[in-house]
Each structure stands twice: as structure tokens, then as C-alpha cells.
Amino acid sequence: MLIILNGHVVDPETGLDEIADVQIVRGRISRMYIHNIGEHYGTDKFDDRDWKKHVYNPYNNEDIENVPDKNERIEVIDAKGMYVLPGFVDLHVHLRDPGLTYKEDIATGSRAAARGGVTTICAMPNTKPVVDNVETLKYVLDKAEKEAVVHVKQLSAITKGMEGKELVDMQAMLDAGAVAFSEDGKSVMDVRLCREAFEKAASMDALIMAHCEDKELVGKGVLNEGVASARYDVCGIPNAVEDIIMARDIFLANDAKTRLHICHCSTKGTVELMRMAKALGANVTAEVCPHHFTLTDADITEANSNYKMNPPLRTEEDVRALIEGLRDGSMSAISTDHAPHSDEEKAAYFDKAPFGIVGLETSAALTYTALVKTGLISMMDMARLMSYNPAKIIGIDEDYGKLALGARADIAIFDPDEEWVVDTAEFASKGHNTPYEGKTLQGRVKATIVHGRLVYSDGIEAINEDI
């Protein structure tokens, strides 16, 4: 059994926002003791505790086996001054396994996730080979079961080889455990084939996660079309590259009644399009990455390809629009698009280096620093955007993304007061490609618990106590 004492518990599902103790038995939350409605009991008083009194039990689940044996030993974590949050659910992660494990693998990627408080990661299918068949899908899921310290959900490609010519066997992939379908890294440019995929997904109640990029319009684009592309003499990527395909996909999804999620939105136009989608009644959600609401193309003041990602860093106007979209609910989730590359690959100039940055180990701190500390959103909003909403989008919200009684005990303990400097030498990820190297952030994940087990700790000890 594990007890977390004195933490500020934030649960978006039930609205709990109080100092409380959390009891975990057999990997699930079995009791909460809220300080402001009753006496706070220390661990030396468990023998005398009235288990029915002062219990936070929104579902009145009396069938949970939560009374421990009196001889059982427990682990105790004191989270005083810290937030106890539902473990983050990252909808957009590149684990590079199979085939590209020099960049990342399931073990290192999952450890990076744990350092960032991410307890569930959704892995994109653009590996080598592509996850477009049951055999490769099972390889990832089996390996994750053995090596990952967090939950790994795997997406399937939409088309075979991600070549945009022929659909995968979507039903077989769904039956084998694929959690969604995506062609991440590109769009399905054949609109007829894309429509067919959306209709097939709708018939199975499956989720499509779309990377929106007009291949012809992007051309050889490298950085945002504007100050950065001019400064470094590279081809620019206009906002319309993203906006055009997003509009197309929203209308296709609305016609087919498809569940659609738009990945890594970066433009003001995408926020307006999401408002349009909601007005249409389309079942569409969208995510924003921390780098797109914390940096602009004007911040690229050196020829450093760690600032190269796809979509690119946009303008201040785009950043303001994205933040407002997160605040008003137009944008539903914060994800990382964690995309590790080798140091050698990223050492190349902008026009040669690959797109992408790592994000698992910095996303919580960036969100807190940029949005919560500044008062733009609340801690409840952060938990909703990083935990609860992503779990609902991917369809796993019955057991993930919340801290309600009976829920799986996936938890991030977050210290809002700690300032720290990003040092990629300390990363668990193989990728060091981040533009935040050397930057000071506030707020840090101090412990991560997955299904009741402490999988990461930064200075927090789980102390064994006798009941």
C-alpha cells in the first residue's frame, strides 16, 4: 500500500482541489482524506481510523477492497507544498522503435516520460518499419510490456508504409490494440483516400489523429515564412500549409461523423477553425505543444537547428491565439510531439537537419511557467489539458487521467516552487534536441507513480512504515 500525505490534490473529473491524503491499494486509489472536512490522521493512527468517515467517494464505491491487513507494511510519501496531479497523458510521442533506436527506444522514452510526470504515452507509427500491420504493432506492445515504466499506447498508420496509396487493415489493427490512426509527419494528400479512411474509422468508432500539412505548398520549407526564414536564407512555411488541410479534414470528419483529433496546432487560423468545427457540431479536438505557446520565430537568434520543428515556430500573434484557444476550450489538450534525434543529425544547418525536438521532460514545467505561474490558466486547467482531456480524446478516460476513487493510481507529484535549469545531460531521453537548453523554468515533477508503483523520484523518498 502507498500513502501520499499532505499534497494539494487536483482532479478535473470530480473538481477536487484540496489538501488531502491519498491511499493506494493494489494499484488503485482506494481512499482520500480531505483535510478541511475532518481531522488529519498521521500514519501512526491508521489502526484507529474510521474507514467510513471523511471519505471522498464521488461514486460511493463500497465494493473496493481498501482496508489493509493490520500487519501490512506501507510506503509513505510526504507531498506537503506540492500538487498531486493525475499522471499526464501525452497523445503525441515518437519512440522511434522499431528501427530508429539510435534516436530513442521504448525503455529510454518511457523513462523520459516518467521524469516529466507522463504516465501514458501514445506512440506515433512513423517508425522503420512503419506500424502498419499487426505483427509490428504487437512487437511494440509486447516490448513496452517488458521494458516501459509507463503505459504505452500505440497508433497505427492510416496507409500502408505511410505512402498515401492504400489503407491499412484498419479493423485488424484496431482489434490488435491500436488506439488510433495517424499518418503523423505527413497528411494523406489523396482526398478520396482520406475520405475513405475517415468513413472507415467512423464505422468502427475509431479515432483519426491528423498531421495537417499541404505537401505541395510546403515545398522545401524549413522555418516559418517570415523573420526567421529571411534571416537564415531558407525557404519559409506559411500558415496556409497547415490551415488548408485542417479545414479539409474538419469538413471530411463532419460529413463522415468521424472522431478527429488535430495534432500540434501552431497557427491563429487553426484556433479559428476549431471554433468553426465546434459550431458545426463536428466531433473534432485539437492539441497544442508547449514550444508553440512559449516560443516564436523571432526567438531564433542563432543558427541552431534545435529550433527547427514541424509545424515551425510561428509569430507572436499565433502564440497569443493558441493560448487563448487553450483558455477558452477551443483547443482541448497539451501534447509534446516528442521527436528525438541524434546530436549529429541536429548539428546540421537548418536546411539539412531533421524536424523535431524532445519535450517529455520539460512539458509540465513549460506549461506551469508560461501559463499557470502567469495566471493565464489554473492548475486545474493544466491537469485537464494534460491529463483528463487527452484520456477522453483517446478513449481511455474510464481508467486514466483522473484521481477519483477506484481509478488507476497514475500520479504526478509536482513542486510549483522549484526553479531549475534545463540540462540535457540529465535527460533520460537519448535525444538532447531542445531549444530550452540552459533556460530557467519554474515547477518540477518530483515523483511519478504508475499503477501504484513509484517509477521516478527526484528527492522524494517513499518511507516504509508499520501500520
Pairwise CA distance, residues 292 & 319, whole Å: 7
**Residue in the block written with cell 497523458:** 89
Sequence-distant (6+) residues with CB within 8 A of 52 are none
Which cell numbers hold the place of 51? 474507514
Pairwise CA distance, residues 362 & 424, whole Å: 10
Report DSSP letters for 270-336, one per residue: HHHHHHHHHHHT--EEEEE-HHHHH--GGG--S--GGG--SSPP--HHHHHHHHHHHHHTSS-EE--
DSSP SS3 for 158:
coil
Helix (H) or strand (E) holding 91: strand 88-93
- Bridge partners (DSSP) of residue 285 are 261
Pairwise CA distance, residues 335 & 450, whole Å: 19
DSSP SS3 for 414:
strand
Active-site residue identified among 97, 105, 249, 337? 337
Phi, psi of 28 (to 5 degrees): -130, 155
Phi, psi of 455 (to 5 degrees): -110, -15
- Bridge partners (DSSP) of residue 155 are none
CB 448 within 8 A of CB 55: no
Pairwise CA distance, residues 119 & 391, whole Å: 11
End-to-end CA distance of the chain: 10
CB 440 within 8 A of CB 415: no
User: Given the DSSP bridges, would you call strands 284-288 and 151-154 parallel, antiparallel or unpaired?
Assistant: unpaired
Give residue 225's Cα distance to chain centre.
Answer: 28
Which cell numbers hold the place of 341? 534525434
The torsion angle over the Cα atoms of residues 88, 93, 96 and 97, rounded to 10 degrees, is: 50
- The amino acid that residue 392 corresponds to is K
Pairwise CA distance, residues 34 & 222, whole Å: 52
**Residue in the block written with cell 482541448:** 332
Question: Which one, of 441, 318, 436, lies nearest residue 374 by Cα?
Answer: 441
Which cell numbers hold the place of 159? 496507409
Identify whether 50 is a catalytic site residue: no
Catalytic residue numbers, as ranges: 337
